[in-house]
Amino acid sequence: MGLDFSVIPKYLDIVLLGALWTIGITVGAALVSFFGGIFLAVIALYAPAVVRWPFRIFSFLFLGTPLLLQLFLIYFGLVQIGIDVPAFVAGVIGLGLHFAVYNSELFQTSILAVDKGQIEAARTLGLSRMQALRKVVVPQAVRDVIPPIGNNMIALLKDSALVSVIGVSELTLSAQRAIGSTYRPFEFYVLVAAIYYIINLGMEAVLRRVERRIQASK
C-alpha cells in the first residue's frame, strides 16, 4: 500500500477546524500562563510567608507531575467534587497554569534584575510598593523576559496536543479521527505536523515583532 495524499482534501475541513481549536487553546493558555506567571512571581517575591507557601506548594505540584496527569485531574477529577468544566476550559486552565509556573521562574529573575533605583524613584514620588511594582518594575521586567517567555509559548503550542486526551477536537485529535476513517496515518500526521510548524512560524513572527517594538523603546 503506497502513499496516497489524495484523501486529504475530503478531510481538510476537519483538520483545519482542529487547527483553529489548537490556536484557540494556545492563545488562551498563553494568556493564562503570562498573567498567571507575573502573579505567581510577585507572590513568590513579595507576599508574606502565609500567602507564599501555599502558592509555592502549588508550583511544586505543577512542576513535579506530568501535564497529562494534571489535565486528567482537572477534567475528570474535579467533576467528582462538583466542579464540571468543559474540556476546552479544562485544557486552557491546565496548560495555562502549568506554563504559568515555568514563566513565573523567568519573571522572578527579571523582576529582581530591575535596578533598585527604579523602585526607590517610584517610592520617593509617593507610590506604594504595589503601585511601584505594577507601573515601574513589572513592565520593565516583562520587557526583558519576552524572548525566553516566547520559547515557553512555543513549547506550550506543542504540548497543546496533550489536550486531545480529554476530548478537545484540536489538531491532533482531528487527525486521529480522519485516520480512523481513512487508515492513512502517515499522510495525516505529516499534514498535521506541517500545520503545527506553520502555526509555530506565525508565533515566531509575532514574537519578533514584539521584540522589535520593545527594542525601539530601549
Partner 1 sequence: MSAQKPFIDIRHAKKSFGTLEVLKDISLQVDRGQIVAIIGPSGSGKSTLLRAINDLDPLTGGEIWLEDKQINMDLPHRQYERHINEVRQEIGMVFQHFNLFPHLKVRENVTLAPKMLKGLTDAEANALAEEQLTKVGMIERIDYYPSQLSGGQKQRVAIARALAMKPKVMLFDEATSALDPELVEEVNLVMKQLAEEHMTMIIVTHEMGFAESVCDRVLFMDQGVVVEEGPPEVIFRNPKSERTQNFLRKHLAGQKA
The residues binding partner 1 (CB under 8 A) are: 115, 117-118, 120-129, 131, 135-136, 139-140, 143, 217-218
Q: List, in sequence order, the alpha helices (H) in 47-126.
A: 49-64, 67-72, 78-80, 87-113, 116-124
Write down the least CB distance from residue 56 to partner 1, Å: 23
Task: Write b or e for each residue in 97-136: b if 16 or more Cβ atoms lie within 10 A of its Cβ, otherwise e.
Answer: bbbbbbbbbbbbebbeebeeeebeebeeeebeeeebbeeb
Nearer to partner 1, 81 or 216 (CB): 216
Nearer to partner 1, 130 or 194 (CB): 130
Nearer to partner 1, 121 or 155 (CB): 121
Contact 203, 153 (CB under 8 A): yes
CA–CA gap between residue 99 and residue 216 (Å, rounded): 28
Give, to the nearest 10 degrees, the angle between helix 8-46 and helix 138-159.
140
Nearer to partner 1, 121 or 198 (CB): 121
CA–CA gap between residue 102 and residue 155 (Å, rounded): 11
Q: Which amino acid is at 162?
A: L
Nearer to partner 1, 212 or 218 (CB): 218
Question: Scanning the structure block, which residue is given the C-alpha cell 519576552?
Answer: 146
CA–CA gap between residue 37 and residue 95 (Å, rounded): 12
CA–CA gap between residue 53 and residue 167 (Å, rounded): 34
Say how many C-beta atoms besides its own lie within 10 A of residue 57's C-beta.
Answer: 10
Nearer to partner 1, 2 or 126 (CB): 126
Write down the least CB distance from residue 214 to partner 1, Å: 9
